[in-house]
Amino acid sequence: MQFYKKQFSLPQFTPSWFIRMETKCTPIKYSLIKNALLFFCKIYFSDPNTIVNNCYHSLRSNVKKIPVKQNWFYQLHEILSEYKCQYVLYPSEEYKCSDRIEMGKVIREVLSKVRAAMDEEDKSRMLISKCMPFYQIGYVKDNTTEDLYNNVRNWSLVKLAIQIKSNLGRFTVGSDVLKLKSYNSLFDEDNDDKCCYCSCREVDDLFHVLYFCPKYASERSKFISKLEIPDGRHLMINLVKSLNNEYLNSIYIFLSYVFKLRK
């Protein structure tokens, strides 16, 4: 997680569930379960006379006698029990399995269930998280049209708040991603980062879009006219400090209109 936080310049307090939901990266626990099941499959169909196979049967038959720390089979059983998938460890008892191909299918089904359960756990953490006040917002509402953005979940505003804090020039509004030219210039030094939607020739970043670009004057007066203008780009941190539910909601709607105007 530290790698993603450094890579995307995210604050250290960014929740791990947020990074997993945004990047779709694989949880470490999931990788451990996957590797353990593949190892189990290999042992199960190994030569019965090998030391590894004998050790496996010994661990399995002495689950209650051997301490947990020394019994990987018991540990795996307990982990899979959390997801009600421990049956995969008992091919001859719970299901018929004659070769690795058949067991591979069962393992893939189990891993799919485990991943889905982990995703639900992250969503639950999102809903109960109190590290930022924006989590308490249920939906985003456009006060000018009274339209309810039903596709916008609580974490969408959290995401925007973190993106504003990192200020990289890439902002997510619903299913749309608004990339400012300052974002592209991060990866290509020769890329022109000046705004091409007005004649100001200012850097196309969040500071310019929120406060000065004349192309969005109408939307700015409707949604974010109450925002105080910082003294400069280096004081954008003041915007982050002053963010509250109302301001964040307004910025979200404003950026959604900016995206439409840039199409």
pLDDT tens-digit map of 169-212: 777 776 677 888 877 766 666 678 889 899 888 888 888 888 88
Least confident of 60-69, 124-133, 148-157: 148-157
Q: What is the mean pLDDT of the chain?
A: 77
Q: Which helix (H) or strand (E) holds 141?
A: strand 140-142
Last residue of a domain, one of 87, 107, 128: 128
On whether both 182 and 124 belong to a single domain, the answer is no
Range of the domain at 114: 2-128
Quote the pLDDT of residue 129.
67
Length of the chain: 263
Quote the pLDDT of residue 11.
63
On whether both 53 and 163 belong to a single domain, the answer is no
On whether both 140 and 257 belong to a single domain, the answer is yes
Q: Which of 76, 78, 4, 13 is nearest to 40 (CA)?
A: 76
On whether both 230 and 176 belong to a single domain, the answer is yes
On whether both 176 and 218 belong to a single domain, the answer is yes
Q: Does 87 score more than 80 pLDDT?
A: yes
Average pLDDT in the 8-26 region?
73
Q: How does residue 244 score in pLDDT terms, banded at 50, 70 and 90?
A: low
On whether both 176 and 114 belong to a single domain, the answer is no
Angle at 103 between CA 37 and CA 52, to 5 degrees: 50
Helix extents (H) in the chain: 2-7, 16-23, 28-44, 51-61, 72-81, 91-94, 100-128, 154-166, 181-187, 206-211, 217-223, 237-242, 245-262
Q: How does residue 218 score in pLDDT terms, banded at 50, 70 and 90?
A: very high
Instruction: Calculate the CA 207 to chain-centre distance.
Output: 26
Q: Which of 249, 174, 182, 175 is nearest to 213 (CA)?
A: 182
CB 197 within 8 A of CB 45: no
On whether both 158 and 107 belong to a single domain, the answer is no
Q: How does residue 113 score in pLDDT terms, banded at 50, 70 and 90?
A: very high
The identity of residue 30, as a single letter, is Y
Burial environment of residue 152 by CB neighbours within 10 A (0 to 12, 13 to 18, 19 or more): buried
pLDDT above 90 covers a percentage of the chain that reads: 16
